[in-house]
């Protein structure tokens, strides 16, 4: 049976119920761990479901952050140092990744608390997560306030990438499913995926067809 | 084997390869059909993978649009009329949904071309997609330019919702997986999901535990 919610009904929902409902509406979301360091060099790690693609050239990624939630350390760190990492959450480290959303004290590193392993590159001071298969290093390019609800849109420019060579398809597509990257629905539901298909570029005069070819060097032992 | 890309290497990639690679990096994305109408009342429909959650109170959703791509009609329509709908793509209508990304002429309705069915509510003039199980009607609240790459961030306020009562959990969470909503990776790969778990609100002193309970009225025949 179809259920309708009017705006008035939405506004009268109990706060937590409304949060669960509205957070479910956008569909599946990415699950990423954001690594930062503060001015003293202490590391911080935080799971977010708000990372999204902004552009390929220049390579830009964005995330939306609500300043007064557990991301406040992350936000403060990336404003101070101008750097952060994005690390795909995979199914092998889901519980640890979720645990980073606990409200630890500011001087506590989520790496220590969750037994995730920090690792560093030459290119950036922010920490990567060793357990992640897909790791992206970024410099902050802009922080814009969304006036409507005082969230902050952080956009970073990619400066380096680390990923398994076995997931790179001939045309540059990454088989993130083979890397066991997972997705999120609502505030707290995590999902594995199974590919339906990759579809050809749509044209008015023809129907889409399959273009899926597994990466040639695919190795199911990578994760 | 781990592959590293430096920024310099990314910048030297062939354009299409770079687009596939960078679009894969943010992780899994939502798949939604955006319904709009122009000033003459003609309808338009366009698949996007850029819809994201902005806030629950007030209920806000955003999407990022590149003005000179196939979303130009959608963008122009929602600027003119101030309204749009978001309709979850499900696995039963994937080929039709993907086909809406073809560059049809402006005076052609993607509903007719793809045999998706337009449907209207009392609350909004923009068209819904009858085949979608989860449908959201929105009014445009703001359009912000992302200066870095001239994309436009559209934020809409939810004014009404339509969804199967059978997917609503006791706490407001929507079992979008039971509604067969799918997700996207890269530019053109579509995926079904299978739930790993819903996890309890993380606290410093305890480990996360399962909170997943299927909606009581769950009916697997809904889709």
A211-222 tens-digit pLDDT: 999 998 645 444
Residue A6 β-bridge partners: B160
| Portion of chain A with pLDDT greater than 90, in percent | 91
Write down the pLDDT at residue A222. Answer: 43
Burial category of B108 from C-beta neighbours within 10 Å (exposed 0-12, middle 13-18, buried 19 and up): middle
At B160-203, the pLDDT tens digits run 999 999 999 999 999 999 999 999 999 999 999 999 999 999 99
Write down the pLDDT at residue B68. Answer: 73
Per-chain mean pLDDT for chain B: 94
Write down the pLDDT at residue A67. Answer: 77
Write down the pLDDT at residue A172. Answer: 98
Contact B172 A5 (CB under 8 A): no
Write down the pLDDT at residue A180. Answer: 98
Which among B27, B191, B99, B16 has a CA at the least distance from the CA of A31? B27
Write down the pLDDT at residue B17. Answer: 98
Confidence class for position B221, pLDDT limits 50, 70, 90: very low
Predicted confidence (pLDDT) at residue A1 exceeds the cutoff of 60: yes
Residues in chain A: 223
Write down the pLDDT at residue B86. Answer: 98
At B91-117, the pLDDT tens digits run 999 999 999 999 998 888 999 999 999
Ranges A87-101, A123-137, A170-184, B61-75: which has the least confidence: B61-75
Predicted confidence (pLDDT) at residue A198 exceeds the cutoff of 90: yes
Q: Whole-angstrom Cα distance, residue A112 to residue A131?
A: 14
Residue A161 β-bridge partners: A136, B5
More confident residue, B137 or A67: B137
Residue B146 β-bridge partners: B151
Predicted confidence (pLDDT) at residue A166 exceeds the cutoff of 90: yes
Confidence class for position A70, pLDDT limits 50, 70, 90: low
Q: Does A123 touch chain B (CB under 8 A)?
A: yes
Predicted confidence (pLDDT) at residue B149 exceeds the cutoff of 70: yes
Q: Does B104 touch chain A (CB under 8 A)?
A: yes
Picking from A3, A4, A28, A222 by the largest number of B CB atoms within 10 A of its own CB, the best residue to mutate is A28
Ranges of beta strands (E only) in A49-167 are 51-56, 59-65, 83-88, 118-119, 128-129, 135-146, 151-164
Predicted confidence (pLDDT) at residue B121 exceeds the cutoff of 80: yes
Q: Does B34 touch chain A (CB under 8 A)?
A: no
Q: Whole-angstrom Cα distance, residue A33 to residue A45?
A: 6
Write down the pLDDT at residue B106. Answer: 84
Write down the pLDDT at residue A112. Answer: 94
As for the ipTM of the complex, it is 0.95
Confidence class for position B46, pLDDT limits 50, 70, 90: very high
Q: Whole-angstrom Cα distance, residue A84 to residue A67?
A: 16
Contact list in B for residue A7 (CB cut-off 8 A) is: 59, 158-160
Contact list in B for residue A147 (CB cut-off 8 A) is: 142
Write down the pLDDT at residue A68. Answer: 73
Residues in chain B: 223
Confidence class for position A71, pLDDT limits 50, 70, 90: confident
Contact list in B for residue A155 (CB cut-off 8 A) is: 146, 148
Q: A58 preceded by cis ω (within 30°)?
A: yes
For B27, the closest of A181, A189, A194 (CB atoms) is: A181
Mean pLDDT, residues A62-81 taken together? 88
What are the start-end ranges of the H helices in chain A? 7-11, 15-25, 72-81, 94-99, 110-114
B21-52 as b/e, with b when 16 or more CB fall inside 10 Å? bbbbbbbbbbbbbbbbbbeeeebbbbbbbbbb
């Amino acid at each position: 049976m179809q259920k309708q919610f009017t705006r008035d009904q939405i506004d009268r929902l109990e706060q937590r119920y409304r949060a669960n409902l509205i957070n479910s509406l956008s569909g599946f979301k990415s699950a990423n761990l954001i690594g930062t360091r503060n001015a003293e060099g202490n590391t911080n790690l935080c799971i977010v479901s708000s990372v999204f693609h902004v552009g390929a050239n220049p390579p830009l990624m964005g995330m939306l952050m609500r300043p007064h939630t557990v991301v406040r350390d992350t936000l403060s760190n990336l404003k101070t140092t101008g750097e952060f990492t994005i690390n795909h959450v995979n199914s092998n480290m889901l519980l640890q990744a979720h645990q980073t959303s606990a409200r630890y004290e500011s001087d506590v590193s989520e790496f220590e608390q969750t037994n995730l392993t920090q690792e560093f590159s030459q290119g950036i001071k922010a920490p990567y997560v060793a357990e992640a298969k897909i790791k992206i290093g970024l410099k902050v390019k802009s922080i814009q306030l969304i006036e409507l609800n005082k969230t902050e849109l952080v956009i970073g420019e990619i400066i380096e990438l680390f990923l398994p060579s076995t997931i790179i398809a001939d045309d540059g597509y990454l088989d993130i499913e083979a890397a066991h990257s997972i997705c999120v629905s609502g505030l707290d539901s995590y999902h594995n995926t199974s590919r339906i298909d990759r579809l050809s570029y749509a044209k008015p005069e023809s129907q889409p067809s399959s273009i899926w070819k597994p990466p040639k060097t695919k190795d199911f032992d990578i994760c």
